[in-house]
């Protein structure tokens, strides 16, 4: 029986992909990295920011110091935060609001568990905080996904056993984290990019809450 649904944020409830892409693109233009494009950007899905910087710099043939990695990560986040000022409820993905509303109506506990330190500002801007019982973000955790800590912490704060939780994720690392936490999983997106999800739909408009709770 599913007693709680734990959502990843970006790519599941909201889409800030374009904002992330534009932030990375600006940084890459400054650094002279001409290889960066939408396809390369997909490598960053569900990956923590410092790891993204390492992937980027390795592709550029760089051997940066830890301080240089931190500086680039901070610069990218600064650019992203500037763009976040533009975020509105229009960034909510199809079915996201309706799903949260119906879960609330049925007294099913809900949480967001995200690696991102920007999760709470985004949630406030798209006006869904009222439908969430718990928010776990990058400030709360020591280990990013695929480590299970974000989901286990969310379950603990919800006071629900991991086995009674369903995770909704759009990234391979997130699915791995959910499995490691002993939770059920629904994938959001395309099978091509999410081969490890046992169940998958394009977005939350493609599944009813009843179907969600009976996975």
Q: What domains can be seen in the chain, in order of their start residue? A: 4-15+89-213 (3.40.50.1000), 17-84 (1.10.150.240)
**pTM for the model:** 0.85
In the set 10, 137, 140, 170, the catalytic residue is 10
Q: Give CA–CA dist 141/112, Å, rounded.
A: 13
Kindly tell me if the per-residue pLDDT of 62 is higher than 80: yes
Higher pLDDT, 17 or 86: 86
Kindly tell me if the per-residue pLDDT of 54 is higher than 90: yes
How many C-beta atoms surround the C-beta of residue 165 within 10 A? 26
Using 50, 70 and 90 to split pLDDT, how confident is the model at 47? confident
Q: Is 190 a known active-site residue?
A: no
β-strand partners of 7:
112, 168
C-alpha neighbours within 13 Å on the C-beta side of residue 161: 4
Kindly tell me if the per-residue pLDDT of 200 is higher than 80: yes
Task: Specify the pLDDT at position 12.
Answer: 96
SS3 call for 52: helix
Kindly tell me if the per-residue pLDDT of 154 is higher than 80: yes
User: How much is the average pLDDT of 158-175?
Assistant: 96
Determine the straight-line distance between the first and last CA of the chain, rounded to whole angstroms: 9
In the set 8, 17, 170, 190, the catalytic residue is 8
User: How much is the average pLDDT of 64-82?
Assistant: 93
Kindly tell me if the per-residue pLDDT of 18 is higher than 90: no
Task: Specify the pLDDT at position 164.
Answer: 98
Quote helix, strand, coil % in the chain, to nearest 5. Answer: 50, 15, 35
70: left (phi over 0), alpha (psi -120 to 50) or beta: alpha
Task: Specify the pLDDT at position 173.
Answer: 92
Per the CB < 8 A criterion, the answer to whether 150 and 5 are in contact is no
Kindly tell me if the per-residue pLDDT of 76 is higher than 80: yes
Task: Specify the pLDDT at position 42.
Answer: 84
Q: Could you tell me which of 34, 65, 35, 70 has the C-alpha nearest to residue 52?
A: 70
Q: Is 8 a known active-site residue?
A: yes
Q: Give CA–CA dist 98/118, Å, rounded.
A: 23
Task: Specify the pLDDT at position 167.
Answer: 98
CA dihedral 98, 100, 102, 103 (to 10 degrees): 160
Kindly tell me if the per-residue pLDDT of 48 is higher than 90: no
**Taking all residues of the chain, what is their mean pLDDT, rounded to a whole number?**
94
Q: Which of 95-99, 100-104, 194-198 is least confident?
A: 194-198
Task: Specify the pLDDT at position 143.
Answer: 94
């Amino acid at each position: 029986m599913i007693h709680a649904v734990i959502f990843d944020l970006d790519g599941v409830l909201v889409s800030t992909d374009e904002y992330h892409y534009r932030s990375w693109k600006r940084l890459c233009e400054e650094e002279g990295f001409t290889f960066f494009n939408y396809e390369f950007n997909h490598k960053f899905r569900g990956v923590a920011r410092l790891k993204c910087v390492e992937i980027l710099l390795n592709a550029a043939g760089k051997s940066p110091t830890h301080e240089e990695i931190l500086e680039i990560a901070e610069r990218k986040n600064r650019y992203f935060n500037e763009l976040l000022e533009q975020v509105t409820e229009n960034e909510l993905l199809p079915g996201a609001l309706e799903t949260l509303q119906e879960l609330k109506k049925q007294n099913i506990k809900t949480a967001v568990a995200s690696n991102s330190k920007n999760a709470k500002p985004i949630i406030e801007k798209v006006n869904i905080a009222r439908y969430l019982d718990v928010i776990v973000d990058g400030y709360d955790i020591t280990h990013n996904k695929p480590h299970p800590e974000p989901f286990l912490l969310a379950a603990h704060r919800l006071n629900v056993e991991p086995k009674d939780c369903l995770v909704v994720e759009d990234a391979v690392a997130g699915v791995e984290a959910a499995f490691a936490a002993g939770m059920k999983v629904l994938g959001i997106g395309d099978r091509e990019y999410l081969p490890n999800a046992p169940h998958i739909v394009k977005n939350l408009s493609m599944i009813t809450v009843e179907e969600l709770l009976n996975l």
